[in-house]
Amino acid sequence: MVKGEQLYEGKAKKVFATDDPELLIVSYKDDATAFNGLKRGTIAGKGVINNKMSNALMKLLEKSGIPTHYVEEINDRDTIVKKVQIVPLEVIIRNITAGSFAKRYGVAEGIPMKSPTIEFSYKNDELGDPLINEYHALALELATKEEIETIKDYSFKVNEELKKFWASCGVTLVDFKLEFGRLSDGTIVLADEISPDTCRLWDSETGM
């Protein structure tokens, strides 16, 4: 597989073309950002951990019937993925109150929810990824009704699988972010990454 032209450099990864128009190589960086890029730094080895963790979790999810973009890990930082057109909706699933949810609704952090919640934000850096509902997403033609249903269905299944996996490691999955994309035939698959950068994980014993 030939690593071709760099197509994109994001905050956490670089994306390269390959000699196959249906495949890309993502390369995980050590760069860390916070507060929407206002705070920047590097964490040595972060890219390697995120690459390996994301790939392991994508493989686990594939086994439980959730289609993903994962193809093959080629080295510590680089992975071949199926090229998708990203659906510009970030999906956030929550199991326990924390972060912006606790702030927005004026509740304490750490309260287990009766059932998991889902929320979407419109993936648009200029607007600061605002919260959006399904009707707005449909009106803005960000996705079809069927695609949104598929995305919700997969997201809750991902939650069940990841909760089980992390619990077996003594870790509680508080909340996490997912991105989905369309393959060239329109099939919805899980894309981007699942890593400590996109999941809020607490030690099950200490709750920290």
Point out which residues bind ligand ATP (CB under 6 A): 8, 10-13, 15, 24, 69, 81-84, 86, 125, 179, 181, 191-192
Q: Specify which residues 182 forms β-bridges with.
A: 85, 188
Residue 161's CB: how many other CB atoms inside 10 A?
16
Min dist CB 63 to ligand ATP, Å, is 19
Min dist CB 17 to ligand ATP, Å, is 11
Task: Please identify, using beta-carbon distances, which residue of 96 and 142 lies nearer to ligand ATP.
Answer: 142
Nearest to 68 by CA among 195, 192, 185: 192
Q: Specify the residue for token string 């890029």.
A: 37
Task: Please identify, using beta-carbon distances, which residue of 80 and 93 lies nearer to ligand ATP.
Answer: 80
Residue nearest to ligand ATP (CB): 10
Task: Please identify, using beta-carbon distances, which residue of 79 and 95 lies nearer to ligand ATP.
Answer: 79
Q: Diameter of the chain by CA atoms?
A: 51
Task: Please identify, using beta-carbon distances, which residue of 35 and 105 lies nearer to ligand ATP.
Answer: 35
Task: Please identify, using beta-carbon distances, which residue of 60 and 102 lies nearer to ligand ATP.
Answer: 60
DSSP letter, residue 63: H
Min dist CB 11 to ligand ATP, Å, is 4
Min dist CB 127 to ligand ATP, Å, is 11
Min dist CB 69 to ligand ATP, Å, is 4
Q: How many helices (H) and strands (E) does the chain have?
A: 4, 14
What is the rounded distance in angstroms from the CA atom of residue 178 to the CA atom of residue 201?
15
First to last CA, the chain: 42
